[in-house]
């Protein structure tokens, strides 16, 4: 009888370990490390002590999924959250909120709302410092990662093994560099900012590869001509300035130009680093689908008008932004693609994440996900 019991226990233990091993090997990434701006910030901006735009730490931000504000610039989850879920990983904790004994081996988020690819001194020199949300640029975020690295792995062999099963998201970053120039009205100078921004991003990628990163996902920019902010700030009485979706042609054309330059630069980095796998995330293409046919994708209230705002043709008003006096949030944000004029809703971010994880908007494709995004 005792032998029988021991055999049963041994059999159960073997099956359990086999199942655990199967789960582990079926998950292609053991960790995710994210760098970027408000598109993927999960709390660093608020934890940095920044005093500008504190409304993102208040309701109605976060109302859809978390039921309270988390520091995410949306009503719910972001693309990075959906990617983590798809690969069976927890939501990434913000670096600035880490505690001493916190388990960080499943990844960390270094993104900060308002962050730029270029260092703040670039904007100060250009006289654009009044537009800066934060000084925590991409290079600062890289410094945070390097500082944290000894807590993740010790020897080079350990780090190589660990990072070979980690996904590094570098962006979206660079969008604010463009925004700040546009805010100042330097529209004709936008193309001039592209080379240094792209160089800053590719330099960061090369540094991460030198630190051991082997799989990096690099998003491009969105169709910014469809943003409620751009549509409001650069509203035109000339119908020829708009495409069939109601978006500003000039700014979408610029975003496409920027993405082309970024793609060309990524190809150069690939050639120099054959040991790494560098993927491009086509945010433009993934989002353009619901801008072109919002109703077909469930956005029955459209893709251009903000869910939360203070009125106007696109429900965006700088004097009554989402969360401020005079603003109001829609009843059902899942029927809107735009959340607050600048950022998208959870429903829109889910749709973009589907395009990356399930395909076909990641080039080359991301590794197969154990949990497809529904």
CB-based burial label for 162 (10 Å; 0-12, 13-18, 19+)? middle
Assess whether 38 carries a catalytic annotation: yes
Closest C-alpha among 115, 53, 169 to residue 61: 53
| Annotation says 327 is catalytic | no
343 is known as an active-site residue: yes
Here the tokens at position 14 are 């073997």
C-alpha 202/C-alpha 185 separation (Å) is 27
The alpha-carbon radius of gyration of the chain (Å, integer) is 22
> Which residues, other chains included, contact 152 with Cβ-Cβ below 8 Å and sequence gap of 6+?
104, 105, 159, 162
79: helix, strand or coil = helix
Q: CA dist 128 to 40, 122, 225, 230, 300, Å?
A: 23, 9, 22, 18, 38
Q: From the CB of residue 250, how many other CB atoms can be counted at a distance below 10 Å?
A: 16
Q: Which position among 38, 40, 120, 369 bears the catalytic label?
A: 38
Q: Which of 48, 343, 362, 369 is catalytic?
A: 343
Q: Among the options 177, 340, 362, 369, which is catalytic?
A: 340
Please give the Cα distance from 305 to 301 (Å, whole number). Answer: 8
Compute the residue count for the chain: 374
Q: Distance between CA 76 and CA 11 in Å, rounded? A: 44
**Which pair of structure tokens corresponds to residue 163?**
């990072």
Torsion of CA 348, 353, 146, 150, to 10 degrees: 120
Cβ neighbours around 2 below 10 Å, total: 6
Residues annotated as part of the active site: 38, 340, 343
């Amino acid at each position: 009888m005792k032998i029988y019991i021991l055999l049963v226990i041994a059999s159960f233990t073997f099956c359990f370990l086999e199942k655990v091993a199967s789960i582990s090997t079926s998950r292609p990434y053991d960790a995710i490390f994210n760098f970027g701006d408000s598109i993927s910030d999960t709390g660093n901006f608020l934890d940095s002590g920044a005093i500008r735009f504190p409304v993102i730490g208040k309701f109605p931000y976060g109302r859809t999924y978390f039921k309270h504000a988390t520091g995410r610039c949306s009503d719910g989850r972001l693309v990075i959250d959906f990617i983590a879920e798809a690969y069976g990983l927890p939501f990434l904790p913000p670096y600035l909120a880490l505690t001493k004994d916190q388990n960080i081996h499943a990844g960390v988020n270094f993104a900060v709302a308002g962050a730029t690819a270029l260092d703040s001194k670039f904007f100060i020199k250009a006289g654009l410092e009044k537009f800066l949300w934060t000084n925590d640029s991409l290079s600062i975020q890289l410094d945070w990662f390097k500082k944290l690295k000894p807590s993740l792995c010790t020897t080079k062999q350990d780090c190589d093994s660990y990072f070979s099963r980690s996904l590094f998201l570098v962006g979206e970053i660079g969008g604010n560099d463009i925004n700040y120039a546009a805010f100042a009205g330097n529209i004709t100078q936008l193309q001039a900012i592209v080379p240094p921004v792209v160089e800053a991003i590719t330099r960061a990628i090369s540094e991460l590869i030198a630190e051991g990163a082997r799989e990096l996902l690099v998003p491009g920019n969105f169709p910014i001509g469809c943003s409620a902010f751009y549509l409001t700030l650069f509203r035109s009485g000339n119908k020829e300035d708009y495409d069939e979706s109601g978006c500003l042609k000039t700014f979408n054309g610029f975003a496409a130009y920027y993405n082309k330059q970024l793609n060309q630069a990524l190809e150069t980095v690939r050639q120099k680093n054959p040991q790494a796998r560098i993927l491009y995330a086509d945010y433009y293409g993934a989002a353009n689908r619901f801008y072109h046919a919002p109703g077909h994708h469930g956005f029955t209230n459209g893709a251009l008008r903000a869910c939360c705002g203070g009125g106007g043709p696109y429900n965006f008003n700088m004097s009554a932004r989402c969360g401020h006096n005079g603003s109001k949030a829609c009843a059902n944000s899942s029927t809107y693609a735009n959340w607050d004029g600048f950022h998208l809703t959870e429903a829109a971010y889910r749709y973009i994440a589907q395009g990356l994880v399930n395909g076909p908007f990641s080039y080359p494709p991301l590794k197969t996900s154990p949990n497809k995004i529904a």
